[in-house]
Amino acid sequence: MAFSFRIRIRIRIILLLFYLFLSQITLSFSAKVFVVYMGSKTGEEDPEETLTQHHEILAAVHAGNMEQAQASHVYSYTHGFTGFAAKLTQHQASQISKMPGVVSVFPNLKRRLHTTHSWDFMGLVGEETMEIPGFSTKNQVNVIVGFIDTAGIWPESPSFSDADMPPVPSRWKGQCQSGEAFNASSCNRKLIGARYYFSGYEAEEEEEEEEAVNTVSFRSPRDSSGHGSHTTSTAAGRYVKNMNYKGLAAGGARGGAPMARIAVYKTCWDSGCYDVDLLAAFDDAIRDGVHILSLSLGPDAPQGDYFNDAISVGSFHAATHGILVVASVGNEGNQGSATNLAPWMITVAASSTDRDFSSDIVLGDGTNFTGESLSLFKMNASARIISASEAFAGYFTPYQSSYCLESSLNRTKARGKVLVCQHVESSMESKLEKSVVVKEAGGVGMILVDEADKDVAIPFEIPAAIVGRGTGDQILAYVNRTRKPVSRIFPAKTILGSQPAPRVAAFSSKGPNALTPEILKPDVTAPGLNILAAWSPAVGKLQFNILSGTSMSCPHVTGIATLIKAVHPSWSPSAIKSAIMTTATTLDKHHKPIIVDSEGRRGNAFDYGSGFVNPMRVLDPGLVYDAHPRDYISFLCSIGYDKKSLHLITRDNSTCHETLFRTPSALNYPSITVPNLNDNFSVTRTVTNVGKPKSIYKAVVSSPIGINVTVVPNRLIFNHFGQKIKFSVNFKVAAAAAATSKGYAFGSLSWRNKKSQVTSPLVVRVAPSNMGLMR
């Protein structure tokens, strides 16, 4: 019996060891290689010390076993950035991702080279050609894109390399203008032209000439602020293998039309842009032979009359010469704040992608929040957290100090603490400045409460993050109820797959059109939140940077327009604009209505125009709404311009005698807006067949609330390519229903067949007498 018992014990021990062996095999099979990314270098580091640090991190997830830690280690990164690769289980990877100093942990997947990240988000893939299935965009090497921008260009950036590019197109008549730190050899087969404009600035600033000299930086096309290089590379930059911002958002990157040619017209300086210089740039660009002009700039809202706006005037001339002008709508965020309102340009709002940059905020009770940030600074331990109002100094009230204004914080009260600061302005610079104020007062971290722009990532000077009002209230509630509240803010990390996406950015200016309400603005929306692109090393010694604004969304549409021009070189500017607008979508990636930050409300045409751009559909829109210079002259006549005023903009003998436009709504625009509907009103539109020669389209209407909409005819039968067909849209008040946005109601008209869907937003406001309301 005793012998038999010992045998059974031995068998059990052997089986136990066998099962343990199997479990180790299973564990080893479940382990995969992960990359542990730990941000940029903090100076010269000893590779041996770095390796030891990496082993210690791995030992922490291997129960302290250094031998297993060393066996799991694959590679250490010690040159351009810090981090390591190791074989880890999913659980171990999750543990490491929560450790201090770790920005992100991601699996070592087999990948194609890809962009960071907006072009992939919109469906365009490829390193250089940006091919769209069924079409060749190789002709983009013959498309010249002009950029009238604030800062010029940094020609040495890899985004502007001319490797493997053919000779400059023979039609090009521009020049490479020499200047400070810039000469003719700075241009190449990619950057084929560069000019700068100083006369208007110099004339206005001559009384402060000495100061101007000190602030201009480069009197040449060279980029002194980064903005110009950023927008240009977003639209047409070459493929760059490893583009990143201090390690964040690392990956390959390229513009929308990476093989197109670039011409730069630097018109703006530190104090702003003058109309004289802008118009000179337009004039040169038209003469030089550009096909498309991109303007990431505009007037303040409310925009003045078309005759008093250089961009409206210049873009009109560009359109009459067959040049499409793409412009940003502005960053004021309020209803009616849209700018660049002329119907002969395409105006772009800003939206998100599915990538965010966030920092973890951990409170002393274990509660974890996330906030938007680009700060890679780290807190080594938790610190006391207070409302900035508690650190008021001197003559400042607690309320004033809560906004972390300059000199408003008491150093004794703020030293060594995390401060919760408030923010109400829509200025990214002032947010950055608040972190400087907190740092100078001795603070070790900042939580910035900003409901309006909580999704805009800022490169703060200390550990810091932006949160919305709700999160801010929860954090302050913890501070107020806790005897010794503490908090810790972790470095920023890249988050892919954030939802919902896209969302309209809170800062993006919105309609209605304050100048001509019959013309819907913005026209479309595109990625403009936290966009990575080329930069000027003159600013922060960075090659690449992350920026937000409609300045960033504008060049996305410029890139798309360039691809259309490459495939359809004979199309007019309005046809290209129509293709972009009528193929846009009002649904996010989960097929739900696009929402608007920061309210989270359902968006409408005043937020995004026709919708979020869809470059996969623009080359084959089926139908286009075309317009020509004479149509814009009729438009001007319809809003009251006489012969004399018309001559100021056309400089020809155009008159209003034979115009058929009774209202601006009659312009053959891809959207339809009726801002003052009395009982009923009809609008005529003409579509041109650019799809299959023989095709039939059926009208599908989503009527605005309280409005009956009929389309005559409701079927369009085309027999050949290029055929034009007119139709009318009749609006009739059905009921005194409450509209959704300052009296406006929203719907859509879509011409559909099995292949195409050509959609136009319908925007209607019932006249007060028909709503039973007093205005």
**Pair of tokens at residue 652:** 């020809």
Helices (H) and strands (E) in the chain, counts: 19, 36
* 117 vs 127: CA distance, rounded Å: 12
* Contact status, residue 361 vs residue 374, Cβ threshold 8 Å: no
b/e per residue, 85-97, with b = 16+ CB within 10 A? bbbbbeebbebbb
* Contact status, residue 194 vs residue 187, Cβ threshold 8 Å: yes
Spell out the SS3 assignment of 255-272. Answer: CCCCCCEEEEEECEECCE
* 35 vs 32: CA distance, rounded Å: 10
* Contact status, residue 415 vs residue 444, Cβ threshold 8 Å: no
Active site residues: 149, 227, 551
Q: Which helix (H) or strand (E) holds 584?
A: none
**Pair of tokens at residue 556:** 């996305």
Res. 464: pLDDT tops 90 = yes
Residues 655-689 pLDDT 10s: 787 666 789 999 999 999 999 999 899 999 999 99
* 233 vs 257: CA distance, rounded Å: 9
* Contact status, residue 228 vs residue 153, Cβ threshold 8 Å: yes
Say which range, 270-284, 313-327, 357-371, 518-532, has the weakest mean pLDDT: 270-284
Q: List the beta bridge partners of residue 732.
A: 680, 708
Spell out the SS3 assignment of 456-519. Answer: CCCCCCCCEEEECHHHHHHHHHHHHHCCCCEEEECCCEEEECCCCCCCECCCCCCCCCCCCCCC
User: If you average pLDDT over residues 381-399, what whole number do you get?
Assistant: 95
pLDDT band at 30 (very low <50, low <70, confident <90, very high): confident
**Pair of tokens at residue 262:** 């670039």
pLDDT at 45: 67
According to the per-residue pLDDT averaged within each range, which of 104-108, 115-119, 140-144 is highest?
140-144
b/e per residue, 176-186, with b = 16+ CB within 10 A? bbebeebeeeb
Residues 220-276 pLDDT 10s: 999 988 889 999 999 999 999 888 888 888 888 889 999 999 999 998 777 667 777
* Contact status, residue 576 vs residue 561, Cβ threshold 8 Å: yes
Residues 72-87 pLDDT 10s: 887 675 543 466 778 8
pLDDT at 391: 96
Res. 215: pLDDT tops 50 = no
pLDDT band at 589 (very low <50, low <70, confident <90, very high): very high
Phi, psi angle pair for 152, to nearest 5°: 80, -145
Strands 383-387 and 486-489: antiparallel
pLDDT at 772: 45
pLDDT at 162: 96
Nearest CA to 579 among 539, 614, 630? 614
* Contact status, residue 371 vs residue 380, Cβ threshold 8 Å: no
pLDDT at 214: 46
Residue count (the chain): 775
Residue keyed to tokens 């304050």: 514
Strand, coil or helix: what is 64?
Answer: coil
* Contact status, residue 151 vs residue 225, Cβ threshold 8 Å: yes
Residues 408-448 pLDDT 10s: 999 999 999 999 999 976 555 588 999 999 999 999 999 99
Res. 473: pLDDT tops 80 = yes
Nearest CA to 759 among 611, 645, 640? 611
Say which range, 25-39, 403-417, 621-635, has the weakest mean pLDDT: 25-39
Res. 723: pLDDT tops 50 = yes
